[in-house]
Structure 1
Amino acid sequence: MSTQYDIVIFGATSFVGQILCQYMVAQYPEGEIVWAAAGRSQSKLNSVVKSLKQNIPTIIADSDDEMLLRYMAEQSKVIISTVGPYALYGSSLVKVCAESGTDYVDLTGEPQWIRKMINLHEATAKASGARIVHCCGFDSIPLDLGNFYLQQQAQKVYCAPCTTVKMAVYQMKGAGSGGTFASGINMFKEASTDAELTKGLKDPYFLCSKEHGFSAVQRDVQTAVYDEDFDAWVAPFVMAVINTKIVHRSNELNGKAFGENFKYDEVIRIGKGFGSHITASAIGLGMRIFPLAITLPPSGYLIEKILTKPGEGPSVKQQNSGFFDLRFIGKTDAGQRLTVKVTGDKDPGYGSTAKMLVQAGLCLAQDISKAEKAGGFWTTATVMGEPLIKRLTERAGLTFTLLD
């Protein structure tokens, strides 16, 4: 397929989209990467391009107009989409990319939508050669690649996979993403009227194929638990609902390289002592109440008024002062243990996420040929792996470190 651009940023006028564009200009001199900014408003695109002080081409496209989306997709190797919630605004673009053979990455954390897209378009993407890669932000790149890196080290040290992996958030600072909140609210509203979806959201293998064959019972932390491996009280981690499903899909796509009975879970490490126990319990209670509260009046209305809205976000200073520190503890079947640390130098929801998304798109465009990885619905660990880790450590402020 002959294309004009390496990447097109769709949703370039959104809050996150503008951060992506600013990052591109800061990282790459004009002409080094051939890219364009896309959105539905020419005047807003002109304003963004003017602020960048580079001659960036623009493309008009709307999430509801397949003809315009197809025109955009056919001009680029990769489409980077920031237009969410994706369950509401993202389906037509995935369809068009799957049909046109154009690679695609996004920021979604919506498992119900990903499952729908796989069901509808996986065969088409395989036939056209389009590589569709969801979850290319904080959910779920550091988690998916963190486990991937841990497994690499386990093979080097023990010549065996870690068949049990626990991830704990040690430290994290940053504002919640308005787009993430909107996506989560939409997901819970869908689940409130769909018993099958509610069941699916609790299934760690929800994004695996129907023939996955996995049966290992996964730990599902719902309240305060004292974890001996992390030597602290731990609480549920809100993003585990998507991350765990992505990691298990990676295991299946990798030929069950982490084991037939691979176990993976995610928590937040709170600390020791009675106060930490209370904090962890409160987090667990809040996470159990929230899905119900958001779907019922008047609590749902009040919560939506309080939360950050799509298109809103933290200041540049707040983005730059944010960070995250994740720890992975893996054990082989023989009981051998490894610990890996993954960090980011910006707030996870915006600063780090924008850099990760751009590098994922560029990795597909420049590093991974279609002969090397064919079309289909992939995860970052299975289609990009080491080349993306290299990009993230060199250009996106992430670190991947073996601690023991």
Structure 2
Amino acid sequence: MSQNDRDHHIVLLGATGFVGRFTARHLAQSAPAGARIAIAGRSSTRLQEVNRDLGVDWPTIQVDTADTDAVARLAASTSVVATTVGPYLRYGTEVASACARAGTSYADLSGESIFVARSIERNHDVAESSGAKIVHSCGFDSIPSDLGLGLAHETAGGVPIVAATLRVRSLRGGISGGTIDSLRQQMKEVKTDASIRRLVGDPYALTPGPSVRLPGRRGSGWGKERNVWQAPFVMGAYNQQIVQRSNYLTGWSYGQLMRYREVIATGRGFAGFARACAISGGTAALVAGLALPPTRAVLDRVLPAPGAGPSSDAIERGRFVLDVDAYPVEGQPVRTRVAAPFDPGYGGTGVMLGESALSLAFDHLPERGGVLTPMVAMGQSLAERLRAQGFTLNVDALH
């Protein structure tokens, strides 16, 4: 059966969850006329509520991700599956594999190194053969990082890059229970297996690794640069793995010796120093707390539960501005400004996942299957779509 003969263009799995509802709303507003969209989840009653809230009459599919036969039927019924059902290590493995086997493209919001590494091992060759584009990390993790550097690299002429840094200039938004639960599950795995602990901290965890490795430490980003204090960005280690996979999938076009890091700019003087200390200390405390059962039990009482999120007012006030500075081996350094008037974890992520699904379903993309990245799978097509939704993705010379 060709993809044109399938029942649906897009199935949104997890449409009843917190981020899933944002994604469904965006698809209802932005999908082209004639798009065949269905929503899927465990509760048919809640799926019908989504339809009523959005004023649509999409087909609903009741499915449990633990039911492999049902997941296989779901994958075979559509051209694209977009899923918000995490933690993906627990709920996403069979969905991604079923899509790879069925030749169905797939997009998720994973920021889980372990899950993506296992997906590559299990699905990449199968998806290459079937033509499926299996694209992880189609939300705030890791589209700004991946597209930001990829667009900068293209503008710089496609030459190798010596160094690149993503700086968070401003970031306003809440944190979801699903994000916390993904981090919680990954920390449990890390605690029980030293090899997994090494994988999470390895920039090349999602690639075979370059033939030449940089000597010494790569640097965390903590400290002062150009008289501005900065702290490591909490998702920088994972985003670096996605960026390096794009590098690998394009034949190490960014350069095998490229240094990439992500930081939060906290300002000048003592106030900037204090903010950098607070961010670094808070991040370390959260990660350490989730790794230990006694402190994890305490944190579970105060952190948002899976499916929960911040207030609508907090989401409405959300927005972000990021700069990705790239220094090529020759020519002018360039900067990609990535910004949007959306909460990064909810409204913004709903737009990014929704537009990724629409791109995979309707755009003329390179005929390449496998476990890909947003930049390699969709690149400029996705960038244009996001610009049309109010995102800034501008690349300029850096002076």
Q: CA deviation at 1:297?
A: 3.9
Q: CA deviation at 1:256?
A: 1.1
1:6 pairs with 2, 6, 9, which one?
9
Q: CA deviation at 1:194?
A: 0.7
Residue 401 (structure 1) aligns with? 394
1:337 pairs with 313, 333, 336, which one?
333
SS at match of 1:136: coil
Alignment of 1:78-227 (within 5 A): 78-155=80-157, 160-209=159-208, 212-217=210-215, 219-221=218-220, 224-227=222-225
- Read off the aligned partner of 1:198 and give its amino acid letter: R
Residue 380 (structure 2) aligns with? 386
Q: CA deviation at 1:278?
A: 2.3
Please report the TM-score for the alignment, with normalisation by the length of structure 2: 0.94
List per-residue Cα deviations over 1:223-254 (Å, max 9, x = no partner). x31013xx410001001121000001100101
SS at match of 2:257: coil
SS at match of 1:294: helix
SS at match of 1:268: strand
Alignment of 1:216-295 (within 5 A): 216-217=214-215, 219-221=218-220, 224-228=222-226, 231-295=227-291
- Read off the aligned partner of 1:215 and give its amino acid letter: R
Q: Is the 8 A contact 2:159 2:330 kept in 1?
A: no
SS at match of 2:346: helix
List per-residue Cα deviations over 1:97-121 (Å, max 9, x = no partner). 1111111000010011110111122
Which deviates the most, 308-317 or 235-244? 308-317
List per-residue Cα deviations over 1:269-303 (Å, max 9, x = no partner). 00110221122123223333333222224321111
Residue 43 (structure 2) aligns with? 41
- Read off the aligned partner of 1:6 and give its amino acid letter: H
List per-residue Cα deviations over 1:115-140 (Å, max 9, x = no partner). 01111222211222211000000000
- Read off the aligned partner of 1:259 and give its amino acid letter: G
Q: CA deviation at 1:257?
A: 1.1
Distance 1:345 1:110, change over 3 A: same
Please report the TM-score for the alignment, with normalisation by the length of structure 1: 0.93
Distance 1:91 1:307 in 2: 26
Distance 1:47 1:143 in 2: 35
2:359 pairs with 353, 359, 363, which one?
363
List per-residue Cα deviations over 1:146-190 (Å, max 9, x = no partner). 0011112211xxx73433101110000000122111101111111
Distance 2:31 2:139 in 1: 20
Aligned residue-pair number: 393
- Read off the aligned partner of 1:401 and give its amino acid letter: N
Q: CA deviation at 1:403?
A: 4.1
Distance 2:38 2:193 in 1: 39
- Report the aligned-residue RMSD: 1.7
- Read off the aligned partner of 1:272 and give its amino acid letter: R
Q: Is the 8 A contact 1:368 1:384 kept in 2?
A: no
1:311 aligns with 2:334: no
Q: CA deviation at 1:335?
A: 7.3
Distance 1:127 1:403, change over 3 A: closer
Q: Is the 8 A contact 1:6 1:78 kept in 2?
A: yes
Q: Is the 8 A contact 1:154 1:161 kept in 2?
A: no
Which deviates the most, 75-84 or 87-96? 87-96
Q: Which runs of 5+ in 2 are unaligned?
A: none
Distance 2:29 2:313 in 1: 16
- What is the identity percentage for the equivalent residue pairs of Structure 1 and Structure 2? 36
Q: Which runs of 5+ in 1 are unaligned?
A: none
Q: CA deviation at 1:307?
A: 1.3
Distance 1:37 1:214, change over 3 A: farther
Which deviates the most, 8-17 or 118-127? 118-127
Q: CA deviation at 1:204?
A: 0.5
List per-residue Cα deviations over 1:23-45 (Å, max 9, x = no partner). 1222247x432111111211111
